Amino acid sequence: MECVALSPASSHFITDGLYTSFQIWRFIFRARSKTIPLNGAMTWKQGHDRTCRMGCDHIESLAHVICHCLIHSRALQLRHNALVGRVKTAIGQIVQIMYETQRVPNSNLRPDLVVAYKSEIYIIDVTVTFEDGKDSFDRAREKKHLAYANIIKTFKTPTNTAEIIPFVMGALGYWDPQNDYFMKKFVSRSYLTKFRKLCTCDTIKWSRDIYAEHVTGIRQYDPTELNISTQRPHESETETNEEAMERRPANNN
């Protein structure tokens, strides 16, 4: 819960209820209080199988279900794309979009957006990480900086600068205040306030849909009604501290 204190946007729906629903309310309060009924949470049951019900050889923790279970790779990608769409909508009229989910020159990497603004080039990549402490955002940003460090020289010239912008969201709707550094360059204060809330609720909505499909087997969205123009294979996030501690020992038989 320490991540909630980082930004008021992470819990805005408690007071105003904007951009949310009763289903989202019910899910997020149980998820943040760690009372979601999953196999991995039932530590009190003697001999209970705590592995993922989808057949993965992993503990069925909330982090695994909403961030790592590849059965849900399509929904994980759509959650990611929803956030990319929010960023593109917010800044698209101000910047020049050079690349959008495309391979950049001299590299096989495909950042979500590469945009130009005046003499500045921004390499933007969105990531959704599970919040297991304040340092989870730092780890996610560091991973993106390491991944795209080699393409800085592709865009940096004597007349312009190039910068990597990791856009980080917590899977349970926690807003990373470091996102403000970039967004404040292009949007007003009032729009940024609304933008934070929209990103928070979009993320929670998709995480709730992933969880609901996991436990019921019923898909929560209609793929034919989605307008997602950019697609990129799902990338596994860095293993969380929770998962590292609970990883199932290898079977030596």
pLDDT digits (tens, 9 = 90+) for 124-138: 999 999 987 778 999
Residue 166's contacts (CB-CB under 8 Å, 6 or more residues apart) are 125, 127, 140, 141, 143, 144, 145, 178
Determine the distance from the C-alpha atom of residue 248 to the mean position of all C-alpha atoms in its chain, rounded to a whole number.
25
- Domain boundaries in the chain? 2-221
Q: What is the mean pLDDT of residues 15-19?
A: 76
Task: Give me the pLDDT at residue 9, please.
Answer: 66
49-61 pLDDT per residue, tens: 888 888 888 888 9
Task: Give me the pLDDT at residue 34, please.
Answer: 86
pLDDT confidence tier of residue 144, bands split at 50, 70 and 90: very high
**Residue 142: pLDDT above 90?**
yes
Beta bridge partners of 175: 169
**Residue 246: pLDDT above 70?**
no
Instruction: Put the strands of the sheet holding 120-129 in their side by side order.
Output: 96-100, 113-117, 120-129, 161-170
Q: What does pTM read for this prediction?
A: 0.83
pLDDT, greater one: 53 or 183: 183
pLDDT confidence tier of residue 239, bands split at 50, 70 and 90: low
Average pLDDT, rounded, for the chain? 84
Specify the DSSP class assigned to residue 127. E
Task: Give me the pLDDT at residue 7, please.
Answer: 63
Give me the percent of the chain exceeding a pLDDT of 70.
Answer: 81
Q: Is 57 helix (H, G, I), strand (E, B) or coil?
A: coil
